[in-house]
């Protein structure tokens, strides 16, 4: 007559206990080692495997939940202006351009957001939802044609708008003061790095 699944499991458990009987009993008069979670520590290979898996899971969770969303990741494009290299996020869709850097608390000194347009125009920008001041570099092709420095946070309900003197097809937003600190000026060019 066949055994039910409960009986089969019980038989396997008893067989396993009999195989490990020497480990479970230990030397005469010794109590088997037990971990705080009731783990049998007399089988260090199994315990180490469990701890390795736990460590890997913990590491992956930390990686996922600590990734900063407020600045670009290491594979983001890099732009060189003068002797300084910036990592930039590209905003080339209407949704990305509308959101921009709004609602972020900070941005690293060597980062920025590059707004890319298909056509040249005198685009207008504002500081809606911004939490830190900016410098705007207005760019035609790869050449800076205008600069708006130290654009302040909005003070009230009315939001001022900012635009270049001539049509552009790119705008680079940097932290306020970067232009002055690095001596960036009209006529400087952007070099896109690989």
Q: Convert the pLDDT of each residue in 102-143 to its tens digit.
A: 999 999 999 999 999 999 999 999 999 999 999 999 999 999
> What pLDDT, on a 0 to 100 scale, did the predictor assign at position 159?
92
Per-residue pLDDT for 8 more than 90?
no
Per-residue pLDDT for 20 more than 70?
no
Is the C-alpha dihedral spanning 120, 122, 127, 132 positive or negative?
positive
Rounded to the nearest integer, the mean pLDDT of the chain is: 81
Q: Hunting for tokens 């420095």 — which residue is that?
A: 149
How much is the average pLDDT of 75-91? 93
Q: What does residue 113 show for φ and ψ, rounded to 5 degrees?
A: -125, 125
> What pLDDT, on a 0 to 100 scale, did the predictor assign at position 76?
83
Count CB neighbours of 129 within 10 A.
14
pLDDT grade for 58, boundaries at 50, 70 and 90 = confident
> What pLDDT, on a 0 to 100 scale, did the predictor assign at position 73?
47
How much is the average pLDDT of 34-52? 60
Q: What tokens appear for 86 in the block? A: 């910036």
Give the CATH fold of the 78-193 domain: Jelly Rolls (2.60.120)
Helix (H, G, I), strand (E, B) or coil at 73: coil
DSSP structural state of residue 104: -
> Which residue would you say has higher pLDDT here, 29 or 8?
8
Calpha distance 30→118 (Å, rounded):
79
Give the E-state strand segments of the chain in sequence order.
Answer: 78-81, 84-91, 111-121, 134-140, 143-151, 168-175, 190-193
């Amino acid at each position: 007559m066949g055994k039910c699944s409960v009986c089969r499991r019980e038989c396997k458990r008893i067989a396993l206990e009999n195989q490990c009987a020497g480990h479970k009993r230990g030397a005469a008069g010794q109590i088997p080692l037990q971990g705080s979670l009731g783990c049998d520590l007399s089988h260090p290979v199994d315990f180490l495997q469990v701890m390795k898996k736990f460590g890997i899971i913990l590491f992956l969770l930390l990686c996922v939940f600590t990734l900063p969303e407020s600045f670009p990741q290491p594979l983001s494009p890099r732009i060189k202006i003068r002797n300084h290299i910036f990592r930039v996020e590209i905003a080339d869709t209407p949704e990305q351009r509308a959101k921009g850097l709004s609602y972020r608390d900070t941005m690293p000194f060597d980062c920025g957001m590059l707004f890319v347009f298909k056509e040249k125009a005198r685009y207008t920008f504002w500081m809606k939802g911004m939490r830190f001041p900016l410098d705007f570099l207005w760019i035609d092709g790869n050449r800076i044609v205008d600069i708006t420095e130290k654009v302040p946070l909005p003070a009230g309900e009315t939001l001022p708008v900012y635009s270049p003197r001539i049509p552009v097809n790119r705008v680079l937003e940097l932290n306020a003061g970067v232009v002055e600190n690095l001596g960036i000026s009209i006529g400087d060019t952007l070099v896109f790095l690989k």
